[in-house]
Amino acid sequence: MAERHDVVIVGAGQAGLAMSFELSRRGVEHVLFERSRIAERWRSARWDSLAFQLPNRMLALPGKSYGGDAPDGFARHDEVLRFLEAYAAEIAAPVRTGTEVLALRRDGTAGYLMETRSGEVAARQVVIATGPFHEPVVPAFAAALPASVGQTDAARYRSPEALPEGAVLVVGSGSSGTQIADELLAAGRRVFLSVGRHRYAPRRYRGRDVIWWYEALGRFDVPIDQFPDRRYPPPTVMTGVAGGYDLFPRALVARGAELLGRIVGCSNGVLEIAGDRDAILQAADASCRDFLAAADALAAARGLEGAPGSWTVPPPLEVEERRSLDLAAEGVGAVVWACGYRGEYGWVKLPLFDGSGTPVQRRGVTECPGVYFLGLHWMHTFRSGLLSYVGADAAYLAEEMTGVP
Ligand SMILES: Cc1cc2nc3c(=O)[nH]c(=O)nc-3n(C[C@H](O)[C@H](O)[C@H](O)COP(=O)(O)OP(=O)(O)OC[C@H]3O[C@@H](n4cnc5c(N)ncnc54)[C@H](O)[C@@H]3O)c2cc1C
C-alpha cells in the first residue's frame, strides 16, 4: 500500500515552509517533499552579489520576524538562505529533502498519488509550492548565436569574472538583468542592455524607502483580478546591493551602457533588434513620474515630514537606437539571458493549466478539489511571490483547506 498523508507540500522554499507552519498550527498532518535542499533556489539559482531587495525588517515569515540589527539594510542572498534554514528548524517542518515528485495524478476519488524515486505516496490534498520562477526563458534563436559567444542566464550567472572576456550583452531589464548589467559595468566590461517593459522609481524618496511608499500607496494590495485579463504590470527594477541605490536601465547609460530594444532574431552572428527601445524607455519614465506624483500627493495629504521631491526623471536618450548588433564586430564575448522564467510543470498530470502552461487558479485554489498552488508570481497580489508576504496567502489557503481560521 502506498505511503499516505493528509497533505503533501511539494517544494521546501519559503512558500512550502510557510504552508507547513500554517498546517501545523491547525494540527494537520503533512510532509514536504523537496527534490534538493531546503530553499534550494536561494542557494544555487542566485548570483554572488545579489542582495534581498526589500528592507531586512521584511525578512519575515509567519511566526518569525527579523531578529538582526539592521532592519533598514538589505541582506545578502546567503543570509536569506540562513533565515529560511533557521525557520525550517524552528517550526520543525517535516521536510524530506532529496525527494523529487516525478508525477502527480488523481488517485481514483480518494485524492492524489505522487510518484517519487522511493515509491508512490498518496495524499488527500496537495500544495504545489515549487516557486514563482522556474527555468529562465531563452529564445529559440539563441541556438543560432556563434559558438564563440558564451551564453548563460540569470539563474546560472554568478559574477563578471566567470564570463568569457569581451563585451557582454544582457537581454532583459527586470531587476535581474539590470542588476547584472550594473555589476558588469562596475567590473569594467562594455555592456549592451536589451530592454523590455519595466517600471522604476527612486530607491529612496523624501527620506523613505520605495517599499514604504509602495505599501503606503496600496500598490501591493491590488489583486490580480483588477487587471484586464489578469495581466499584471511590468516588473519594477530595484537593488538592495550596497545598502540600496537608484537603479534602472537609463541610469546605466551615463556609466557607459548602450541600451537596445528587444532582440528578436539572429542570423550570421548579427542580432536583429526591434525598434522599440525608446517606446519602452518612455513608458518606464512615465511609470516613474506617476510614482513621484502619487508620492507627493500622499505626502501632502498626510502632512508627511521629509524634504519635498527633488528627484527628476533623466532626459531622453540622444543616441539613435540600433536595429542590429554584429556580435563579432562589437567584441561581444558573452550573452546573459534575463528575460523571464517559464513554468516547469511537466510532472503535474492534472488539468490545471491554460494553453500557455500557466496555472489556472484563484488565490491558489484550482479546479481540482484538494490541489492548490502557493507562491506564484502575482498569484493574488504582487505580494504573493515575495518572501515577506507569502505567509498571508499560506494562511488563506490553510483556512480554505481546513475550514479553520
Ligand atoms: C533573482 C531573484 C531575486 C529575488 N529576490 C527577491 C527579494 O529580494 N525579495 C523577495 O521577497 N523575493 C525575491 N525573489 C522572489 C522570490 O522570493 C523567490 O523566487 C523565492 O525563491 C520563491 O520562494 P518559493 O518558496 O515560492 O519557491 P522556490 O524558492 O523556488 O522553492 C521551490 C522549491 O521547490 C523545489 N521543487 C521544485 N520542483 C519540485 C518537485 N517536482 N519535487 C520536489 N521539489 C521540487 C525546488 O527545489 C525549490 O527548493 C527573487 C527571485 C529571483 C529569481
CB 373 within 8 A of CB 380: no
Q: Is the shortest distance between the CB of 51 and ligand 1 below 6 Å?
A: no
Cα–Cα distance for residue pair 156/176, rounded to 1 Å: 12
Of 256, 405, 268, 248, nearest to 326 (Cα)?
A: 268
Q: Which residues contact 192 (CB under 8 A, 6 or more apart)?
A: 167, 168, 169, 170, 257, 258, 259, 260, 325, 330, 332
Cα–Cα distance for residue pair 100/117, rounded to 1 Å: 7
Q: How distant is the alpha carbon of residue 345 from its chain centre?
A: 17
DSSP character string of 277-295: HHHHHHHHHHHHHHHHHHH
Q: Is the shortest distance between the CB of 54 and ligand 1 below 6 Å?
A: yes
pLDDT value at residue 300: 92
Q: Is the shortest distance between the CB of 387 and ligand 1 below 6 Å?
A: yes
Of 60, 48, 74, 20, nearest to 374 (Cα)?
A: 20
Q: Is the shortest distance between the CB of 8 and ligand 1 below 6 Å?
A: no
pLDDT value at residue 310: 76
User: Across 138-189, where does the E strand assignment appear?
Assistant: 150-153, 167-171
pLDDT value at residue 212: 97
- For residue 376, how far is its CA from the centre of ligand 1 (angstroms)? 9
Q: How distant is the alpha carbon of residue 31 from its chain centre?
A: 25
As a residue count, the chain comes to 405
Alpha carbon separation from 301 to 1, 9, 159, 168, 218 (Å, rounded): 65, 45, 45, 46, 15
| Atom of ligand 1 minimally distant from the CA of 389 | 11
pLDDT value at residue 311: 87
Which of the four pLDDT bands, split at 50, 70 and 90, describes residue 58? very high
The β-bridge partners of 56 are: none
Alpha carbon separation from 63 to 22, 90, 111 (Å, rounded): 10, 9, 30
Name residue, grid cell 539559482.
45
Mean pLDDT of all residues in 115-130: 97
Question: Which three three-digit cell numbers place residue 305?
Answer: 515630514
pLDDT value at residue 380: 96
Of 76, 74, 75, 88, nearest to 39 (Cα)?
A: 88
pLDDT value at residue 40: 98
- For residue 80, how far is its CA from the centre of ligand 1 (angstroms)? 11
Q: Which residue has the higher pLDDT, 108 or 186?
A: 186
Residue 272 φ/ψ, nearest 5 degrees = -95, 135
Cα–Cα distance for residue pair 134/8, rounded to 1 Å: 20
- For residue 141, how far is its CA from the centre of ligand 1 (angstroms)? 27
β-strands 270-273, 263-267 pairing: antiparallel
Q: How far apart are the first and last CA of the chain?
A: 33
Cα–Cα distance for residue pair 254/184, rounded to 1 Å: 14
Q: Is the shortest distance between the CB of 385 and ligand 1 below 6 Å?
A: yes
Q: Which residue has the higher pLDDT, 33 or 317?
A: 33
Alpha carbon separation from 346 to 33, 105, 134, 353, 369 (Å, rounded): 17, 12, 12, 11, 20
Residue 205, pLDDT > 90, answer yes
Give the residue whose CA is nearest to atom 35 of ligand 1. 11
> pLDDT of 298-348, one tens digit each?
999 999 877 777 788 998 888 899 999 999 999 999 999 999 999 999 999
Q: Which residues contact 13 (CB under 8 A, 6 or more apart)?
A: 38, 39, 40, 41, 42, 84, 129, 131, 375
Query: For the CA atoms of the chain, what is the radius of gyration?
Result: 22
> pLDDT of 61-82, one tens digit each?
999 999 999 999 999 999 999 9
214 sits in which H/E element:
helix 210-216
pLDDT value at residue 295: 95
- Alpha-carbon torsion (358, 361, 363, 369), positive or negative: negative
The β-bridge partners of 332 are: 167
Give the residue whose CA is nearest to atom 13 of ligand 1. 386
Question: Which three three-digit cell numbers place residue 184?
Answer: 558588469
| Atom of ligand 1 minimally distant from the CA of 240 | 8
> pLDDT of 242-289, one tens digit each?
999 999 999 999 999 999 999 999 999 999 999 999 999 999 999 999
Please count the CA atoms within 13 angstroms of the CA of 39 that sit on its side-chain side: 21
> pLDDT of 171-204, one tens digit each?
999 999 999 999 999 999 999 999 999 999 999 9
Q: Is the shortest distance between the CB of 121 and ligand 1 below 6 Å?
A: no
Q: Is the shortest distance between the CB of 347 and ligand 1 below 6 Å?
A: yes
Mean pLDDT (the chain) is 96
Task: Please give the share of the chain, as a percent, with pLDDT higher than 70.
Answer: 100
CB 395 within 8 A of CB 401: no
pLDDT value at residue 334: 98
Mean pLDDT of all residues in 376-389: 96
Mean pLDDT of all residues in 344-366: 97
Print the SS3 string covering 75-126: CEHHHHHHHHHHHHHHCCCCEECCCCCCEEEEECCCEEEEEECCEEEEEEEE
Which of the four pLDDT bands, split at 50, 70 and 90, describes residue 110? confident
